């Protein structure tokens, strides 16, 4: 059997080259795609399809080199699997390549492959021995007149090949709305498969069956057209390299955000349905168009768009002109796209329409401005009557001697002072949130000494041991007014909430440079704050101490002032043991 299998002749070597050279080309394509291209369902199926083409062309080659009919029959039994499985692998690849993966379910794949497994087993087992005829040029070839099974097999393969052709051309037609490179890829594959399919069906199926003329077995040779088109699609149009179209479009088109992909020339390569919905443009109006010209942003935004092709991901908000002419707010998140060598080849972006949110924020800001203005005017207008009340109380005390009435005056005066304190704090809150920072260089030690002197009038101030540990040369470039407000509010709280039954009440003040910040810590051994109250002490009008007579705005002012200066504040406290407020302020802030 071995000697029969390798019984060759070179009498028909020219005919053998017609199939052997295309076989070598397809072998190279298989090796390249299978081993060098990132594996996906598409590339794996395509590799198997090209491998079956190689086996089929080698099947033709070996039969043309066979010396005897028996040698040709043996090679036919060994390699017929190639010609049998070209069509199922081709159809499977076509379903995936044309984005019809849903059709390629297990039931369809069973129906797709099972007939060819059955036909291959029949041929390989020798049950259906093919009739061979010898041609002076083509050497041995199968006689389609001999067996109904062979005729059915030929017709079945041809019919399925035309289904593949229909899928490829319909997909190429659909791709006219896709990026130009995708259209060229799909068109090349469709044309490359069409030439051998039409030629093979005509010369090896229709003519022999219906005219009784000899077939012309050059379908495997014409398959070189498919190989050439494939090479062009891979090398020139980068088929099987990264492409947004490799991601199922159903995923992109069902996303709630717009997706856009541009190349290094800012030309739009891909957009999903949501992007078109947000901008009002159709795919034809956007694809292969420069984004910064098609979507007219402001001059500053155009510069921003030009800088979006970079190695760093970015997110920004800007105004965009809708196709209708109205302005919309969008949020764009951009990330670079890199090729296999790490070179940036474009940018992918996620775009969200935030017009409603932006309008709501703007309205909220307007309302906040109105509220701030109301508070400012109210606090200013109320100060005058409060001062009048205070003056009237002083006059009344000079004329009235009744102790009960005087006690009422004291309560009125206390309430009046409290009201003035609230108005003063509210004015300070507005000043902090809306005012501009005025930067100057301050000496931290001297500034804190002045603050301590300004609050020395407070009750029990003289009974507290104040310990200051600050470098006399430590300076800070910050807003003096906000700095004083921060430190003063913290110190006032530390004094007001001392434990007077403590053996020795103290307040420790430390300041130093720490990780690029000026760290100022104020510690005391006072009443402390409960664990459940600590997270809320910086809230507006929150009083964590049931005995507090304050406005509940002091620490709220502190937190806002610290954040205004670009810093942050922390608190550690334990009830009946004391508290530590630690403020971190930038060494220098921009004015």
Give yes or no for a contact between 454 and 492, defined as CB atoms under 8 angstroms apart.
Answer: no
Tokens 């899928």 correspond to: 167
Tell me which DSSP letter residue 8 carries.
Answer: B
Q: Tell me how many degrees the CA angle 385-389-395 measures, rounded to the nearest 5.
A: 140
Q: Where do the domains of the chain lie? A: 2-241, 246-353, 359-434, 439-586
Domain range 359-434, its CATH number among 1.10.10, 1.10.150, 1.10.287, 1.10.3470 = 1.10.287
Identify the H or E element spanning 530: none
Query: In the β-sheet with 268-271, what is the strand arrangement from edge to edge?
Result: 268-271, 258-263, 344-353, 327-338, 314-321
Nearest to 27 by CA among 45, 46, 53: 53
Query: Which of 245, 260, 233 has the alpha carbon at shortest distance from 96?
Result: 245
Cβ pair 232, 188 in contact under 8 A: yes
Q: Give yes or no for a contact between 544 and 502, defined as CB atoms under 8 angstroms apart.
A: no
| Rounded percentage of the chain residues whose pLDDT exceeds 90 | 10
The DSSP-derived string for 407-464 is HHHHHHHHHHHHHHHHHHHHHHHHHHHHSPP-EEEEEHHHHHHHHHHHTTTSTTGGGS
Topology annotation, domain 246-353: Beta-Lactamase (3.30.450)
By the 8 A CB rule, do 79 and 87 touch?
A: no
Strand pairing category for 268-271 and 258-263: antiparallel
DSSP 258: E
Query: Cα separations (Å) of 133 from 65, 137, 215, 446, 463?
Result: 14, 12, 11, 112, 122
Please report the DSSP string for 82-137 in residue order.
HHHHHHHHHHHHHHHHTT-GGG--HHHHHHHHHHHHHHHHHHHHTSSPPPEEEETT
Q: Are 385 and 436 in contact (CB under 8 A)?
A: no
Give alpha helix (H) positions in 472-553.
480-496
3-state DSSP assignment of residue 90 = helix
Taking 50 as the pLDDT cut, the residues of the chain under it are 244-246, 591
The single-letter DSSP state of residue 255 is -
DSSP state of 588: B
Report field, pTM of the whole predicted structure over 0.85:
no
Give the pLDDT confidence score for residue 520 in this predicted structure: 93
Task: Give the whole-angstrom CA distance, residue 246 versus residue 99.
Answer: 9
Cross-strand bridge partners of residue 579: 524, 573
Q: pLDDT at position 138, please?
A: 83
Residues forming a β-bridge with 467 = 508
Domain boundaries 439-586, corresponding CATH code: 3.30.565.10
pLDDT of the residue at 244:
47
- 3-state secondary structure at position 478: strand
CATH tag, 2-241: 1.20.1070.10
């Amino acid at each position: 059997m071995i000697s029969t299998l390798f019984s060759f002749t070179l009498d028909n070597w020219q005919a053998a080259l017609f199939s052997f050279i295309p076989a070598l080309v397809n072998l190279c394509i298989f090796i390249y795609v299978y081993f060098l291209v990132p594996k996906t369902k598409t590339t794996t199926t395509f590799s198997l399809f090209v491998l079956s083409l190689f086996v089929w062309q080698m099947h033709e080659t070996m039969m043309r080199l066979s010396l005897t009919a028996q040698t040709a029959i043996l090679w036919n039994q060994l390699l017929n699997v190639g010609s049998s499985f070209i069509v199922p692998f081709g159809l499977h690849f076509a379903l995936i390549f044309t984005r019809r993966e849903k059709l390629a379910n297990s039931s369809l794949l069973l129906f797709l492959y099972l007939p060819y497994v059955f036909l291959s087993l029949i041929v390989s087992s020798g049950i259906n021995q093919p009739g061979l005829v010898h041609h002076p040029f083509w050497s041995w070839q199968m006689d389609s007149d001999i067996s109904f099974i062979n005729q059915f097999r030929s017709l079945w393969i041809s019919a399925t090949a035309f289904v593949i052709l229909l899928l490829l051309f319909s997909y190429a037609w659909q791709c006219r709305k896709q990026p130009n490179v995708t259209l060229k890829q799909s068109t090349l594959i469709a044309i490359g498969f069409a030439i051998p399919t039409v030629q093979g069906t005509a010369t090896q199926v229709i003519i022999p069956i219906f005219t009784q003329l000899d077939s012309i077995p050059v379908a495997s040779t014409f398959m070189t057209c498919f190989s050439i088109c494939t090479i062009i699609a891979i090398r020139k149009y980068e088929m099987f390299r990264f492409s947004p179209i490799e991601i199922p479009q159903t995923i992109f088109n069902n996303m709630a955000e717009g997706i856009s992909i541009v190349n290094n020339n800012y030309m739009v390569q891909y957009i999903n349905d949501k992007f078109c919905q947000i901008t009002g443009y159709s795919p034809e109006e956007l694809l292969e168009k420069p984004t910064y010209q098609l979507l007219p942003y402001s001059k500053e935004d155009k510069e921003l768009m030009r800088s979006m092709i970079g190695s760093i991901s970015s997110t920004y908000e800007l105004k965009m002109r809708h196709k209708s002419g109205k302005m919309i707010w969008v949020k764009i998140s951009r990330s670079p796209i890199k090729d296999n060598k790490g070179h940036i080849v474009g940018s992918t972006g996620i775009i969200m329409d935030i017009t409603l949110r932006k309008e709501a924020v703007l309205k909220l800001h307007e309302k906040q401005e109105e509220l701030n203005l109301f508070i400012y005017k109210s606090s200013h207008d109320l100060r005058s009557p409060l001062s009048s009340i205070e003056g009237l109380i002083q006059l009344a005390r000079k004329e009235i001697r009744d102790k009960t009435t005087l006690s009422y005056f004291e309560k009125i005066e206390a309430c009046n002072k409290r009201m003035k304190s609230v108005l003063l704090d509210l004015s300070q809150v507005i000043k902090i949130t809306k005012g501009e920072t005025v930067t100057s260089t301050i000496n931290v030690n001297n500034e804190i000494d002045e603050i301590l002197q300004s609050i020395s009038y407070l009750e029990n101030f003289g009974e507290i041991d104040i310990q200051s540990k600050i470098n006399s040369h430590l300076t800070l470039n910050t807003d003096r007014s906000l700095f004083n407000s921060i430190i003063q509010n913290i110190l006032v709280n530390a004094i007001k909430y001392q434990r007077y039954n403590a053996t020795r009440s103290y307040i420790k003040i430390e300041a130093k440079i720490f990780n690029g910040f000026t760290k100022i810590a104020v510690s005391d051994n006072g009443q402390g704050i409960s664990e459940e109250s600590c997270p809320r002490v910086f809230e507006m009008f929150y009083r964590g101490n049931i005995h507090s007579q304050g406005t509940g705005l002091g620490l709220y002012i502190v937190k806002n002032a610290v954040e205004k200066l670009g810093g942050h504040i922390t608190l550690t406290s334990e009830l009946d043991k004391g508290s530590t407020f630690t403020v971190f302020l930038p060494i220098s802030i921009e004015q």
